[in-house]
Amino acid sequence: MFKVFLVDDEEMVIESLKACVDWNKYGFEVAGFALRGEEAFKMIAVMKPDVVFTDIRMPGMSGLELIKRLKDTFNPALAIVVSGYAEFALAQKAINYGAFGYCLKPFDEGEIIGFLKKARAVLEERDTSIATKIWDLMEENHTGASVGLRRMLILSGIDLESAEGMKAIVTIGKSKLKLDGVRGCVILNIGFGKYAYLIQENLDSQLQIDLREAAASGIKGIGVSGIIRKEEQIKEAIHTAEINAYRYFITGEPCSVSDEAANEAAGGPEKDHSIKKMEETIGKNDIAALFDLLDETGASFASGQLHMKHALIVYNQIMSFAHKNDEEPYEDYMYSLDQLAGLFSTAHDMLLFLKERLREKLETTTGWKLLHVRNRTFKAILAYVDENYCRDISISSISKQFNVNGNYISQLFTKEVGTTFTQYLSKLRIDYACQLLTTTDLPINEIAEKTGYDDNFYFSRIFKRMKGTSPSAYRVGKQ
């Protein structure tokens, strides 16, 4: 809901305006009112409404002066003048001061509704534009980007210098929190079924209602960061909230809110000790000890002592070890949290899978038995990759699709095209991303999704590694 603030020196007029239209029906709510311009200016600065309806003629500060002061302080609220005077000069002056509209008393329901529809369209478009700009600015690393980012946040009703500060929230699941159009909140799509919310901390009451309803709406996990007071902290705060949001995966518990305190609990010497102990056990080539260690790790996950990044490390360490003596090195690493959560429902399921791989390793003494296939089979595999590179494909999925051993597929890629499967796939995806960046106006997050990346930050990292610059900078350089 967008917020509306009413200003008139007659309370009966305010009550009349409240009653003349069904505000909620058109996506608005009357958040407050004032009977004097000076009082209104102070309340608007605190409440940060999206639309202000104000009378022109009032004792003290007039409606025109109020609009001018809002404009001078860069307040983005849309101002609509209501007046009993059908004077062209006043209307023109109001428009020059930045008024969004001008309507006469007594109020006409159709006219007010018309202004609300126009205002909602402007506000929704502005929210989308601001979110896109914020995403692009977060990818840059210079003073100008920080200044621009702060300006975009202020336009959204977020002031990093306020006493409350800002927080980042990340949700994972098929739906979003009901914060669209809420002043003081920016919603960023950071991956498939994953959203980040940058919110002014004073939205806590609205937020708590939405968080309680989240599990029922299809959201799997919710993570919250600590207080953010500087632009350069935003990206890291989103990462923190994202890790916290995966708590459902780690503990196997239903959707619950996990904040920075929970993340700190999953830290300290315990996490470093667990990972280091696994590395040492792998170094000793002690498979039996690894079985016991996976049981210990499972208990640490269930208690929340370890978090999602540790799950990713454990998976890659064990899978690398399971393929240690293969003719070709193991390449099918998991690089993002989304990949891991897409493959398994919980950390417990992941550990069961890893135990099975270790069991196979224990039973096998000569490595994986390769299948002998002709080159025409590889040509079919290559054609499949060239056609489906924007989808979620891997050596493992291709192996199942063509009933060919995964290590042999890796071998053929190196032999036939002179590069690894991962390098070949990344080149196809990044080349297509470059094409979309230069020929379309699609936002970066949509381009990431279209090119096969569920995680936008991971996409940006791969793009920069291959092209030497960020996606947004690449787009600007090609214009």
Res 329: pLDDT: 63
Q: In terms of CATH architecture, what is 375-478?
A: Orthogonal Bundle (1.10)
Res 261: pLDDT: 47
Mean pLDDT of the chain: 82
pLDDT higher than 90, residue 51: yes
pLDDT tens track for 103-145: 887 788 888 999 999 998 888 777 677 788 888 888 776 777 8
What are the φ/ψ torsions at residue 263 (nearest 5 degrees)? Answer: -65, -40
CATH superfamily, with its number, for domain 147-258: Reverse transcriptase/Diguanylate cyclase domain (3.30.70.270)
50-54, 68-72, 315-319: the lowest-pLDDT one: 68-72
Residue carrying structure tokens 């929230």: 169
Q: Which residue has the higher pLDDT, 210 or 319?
A: 319
pLDDT higher than 60, residue 75: yes
Assign 242 a pLDDT band (cuts: 50, 70, 90). very high
Per-residue CA distances from 448 to 66, 141, 337 (Å):
44, 20, 15
Res 202: pLDDT: 64
pLDDT higher than 70, residue 213: no
Work out the angle between the directed axes of helices 63-72 and 37-47 (0-180°, nearest 10). Answer: 30
Res 371: pLDDT: 38
pLDDT higher than 70, residue 20: yes
pLDDT tens track for 330-379: 667 788 898 899 888 899 999 988 888 887 776 663 333 333 334 677 88
CATH of domain 2-124: 3.40.50.2300
Alpha-carbon gap, residue 129 to 124, rounded angstroms: 9
Domain spans in the chain, listed from the N-terminal domain onward: 2-124, 147-258, 268-363, 375-478
Work out the angle between the directed axes of helices 347-363 and 308-322 (0-180°, nearest 10). Answer: 10
Res 272: pLDDT: 60
Q: Do domains 147-258 and 375-478 have the same CATH topology?
A: no
Mean pLDDT computed over 452-461: 90
Res 266: pLDDT: 43
Rounded (5°) CA angle 80-83-87: 105
Res 370: pLDDT: 35
> Environment class of residue 279 by beta-carbon count within 10 Å: exposed (0-12), middle (13-18) or buried (19+)?
exposed
Question: At 129, which helix (H) or strand (E)?
Answer: helix 109-139
Question: At 52, which helix (H) or strand (E)?
Answer: strand 51-55
Res 246: pLDDT: 92
Mean pLDDT computed over 407-435: 87
38-47, 181-190, 418-427: the lowest-pLDDT one: 181-190
> Environment class of residue 418 by beta-carbon count within 10 Å: exposed (0-12), middle (13-18) or buried (19+)?
exposed
Assign 453 a pLDDT band (cuts: 50, 70, 90). very high
Strand-pair partners of 2 = 28
pLDDT tens track for 162-177: 877 899 999 998 788 8
pLDDT tens track for 86-109: 666 676 777 777 788 888 877 888
- Residues 6 or more apart whose CB falls under 8 angstroms from that of 397 comprise none
Res 369: pLDDT: 36
Res 275: pLDDT: 80
pLDDT tens track for 143-168: 778 888 888 888 788 888 887 789 99
Mean pLDDT computed over 29-56: 91
Mean pLDDT computed over 12-31: 90
Residue carrying structure tokens 């390793």: 361
Res 479: pLDDT: 67
Reference 260, options 233, 273, 272, 242; nearest CA is: 242
pLDDT tens track for 201-210: 765 555 555 5
Question: At 354, which helix (H) or strand (E)?
Answer: helix 347-363
Alpha-carbon gap, residue 166 to 382, rounded angstroms: 48
Alpha-carbon gap, residue 117 to 354, rounded angstroms: 55
Number of Cα atoms under 13 Å in the Cβ half of residue 244? 26
Mean pLDDT computed over 41-64: 89
